[in-house]
Amino acid sequence: MTRTTDKALNVRGATKTYRTQSGEVHALKDVDLTVRQGEFISVVGPSGCGKTTLLWSIAGLHRLTSGAIALGEEWITGPHASIGMMFQEANLLPWRTIRKNIELPSEIRRIRPDEQRIDTLLRRVGLEGFGEKMPRELSGGMQQRASIVRALASDPTVLLMDEPFGALDAFTRDEMNKLVEEIWLGSRKTVILITHSIAEAVFLADKVYVMSARPGRISRVVDVPFARPRSLALMETREFFDLVNAIKHEIQQQPPAKSAVARAV
């Protein structure tokens, strides 16, 4: 693995086979990925191609069958304070206030939460004054904003997002996309966004990684040429539309997924 001075994220030969009662599922095969520090990439691909498996492995939540992942000089072998994660659902504990939910990862790691940073982030995402509310008092979009704050509270180097806005309505989703770009422009975290919306992938990322169906591997990397900050009006331009369509074709041309389960011999 190449050693770099900055905190580039390196995935090398990532292979994951799940062993199930009915046989083995080859979820990832030899995935290589390098994300420079501060780069924003997105990953798209057919359902079941291993996107979540890849992201969870990077987060240290899954153990690879073979291959390795490193952040800068450090191997990722388990959950890591420099890596924050956002899921499709906000996953806020209903019996804890928003602030107590945001503090939970620090609590688990037994470190003191940075209250000032949390307040700044709450203000940043438009949730000033909502820290003492309960999750049920917030809309879906607001809950996802709170979960962005939770992911960023420990000031991670890397932010991982697994289809974070899939459950939101189109309007709220556009708002969240603008917010994510603003936060990224202000903080330059390394971001990996998984999404089933190719438009969202193109709108937000510097590069779009296209994954092929099982076993998942990277089939193509597409550079996104649009200047930043990007406005929502970009999505209505011919250039944007053409790039989204090219990626869509790339995904559609892939051979259909092999059977999910390869019988263990």
CA–CA–CA angle 183, 187, 191 (5° rounding) = 75
Minimum distance between the CB of residue 247 and ligand ADP, rounded to whole angstroms? 16
Minimum distance between the CB of residue 85 and ligand ADP, rounded to whole angstroms? 14
Q: Which of 10, 15, 17, 52 binds Mg ion (CB under 5 A)?
A: 52
Pick between residue 52 and residue 197 the one whose CB is nearest to Mg ion: 52
Query: CB 21: neighbour CB atoms within 10 A?
Result: 5
Residues 21-60 that bind ligand ADP (CB under 6 A): 25, 27, 47-53
Q: How many residues bind ligand ADP (CB under 6 A)?
A: 13
- Is residue 15 a contact point for Mg ion (CB under 5 A)? no
- At 215, list the tokens: 């076993």
Pick between residue 4 and residue 88 the one whose CB is nearest to Mg ion: 88
Q: Which range of residues in 20-28, 65-73, 75-83, 177-185 is near ligand ADP by CB under 6 A?
A: 20-28
Rounded CA separation 127/120 (Å):
10
- At 258, list the tokens: 């092999």
Q: Which range of residues in 45-53, 98-106, 221-229, 243-251 is near Mg ion by CB under 5 A?
A: 45-53
Distances (CA, A) of 28 to 10, 196, 216, 248: 16, 18, 4, 21
Rounded CA separation 244/241 (Å):
5
SS3 251: helix
Helix (H) / strand (E) containing 20: strand 9-20
Choose the one of ligand ADP, Mg ion, none that binds residue 25, judging by a C-beta under 5 to 8 angstroms depending on kind: ligand ADP
Q: In the bound complex, which residue of the shown chain has the CB atom lying closest to Mg ion?
A: 52
Tell the residue number behind the tokens 């979009």, with chain if given.
141
CB contact at 8 A, 233 and 68: no
Tell the residue number behind the tokens 């990996």, with chain if given.
192
Pick between residue 51 and residue 150 the one whose CB is nearest to Mg ion: 51
Minimum distance between the CB of residue 50 and ligand ADP, rounded to whole angstroms? 4
Pick between residue 104 and residue 261 the one whose CB is nearest to ligand ADP: 261
Per CB under 6 A, residues contacting ligand ADP are: 18, 20, 25, 27, 47-53, 214, 260
Positions that interact with Mg ion (CB under 5 A): 51-52
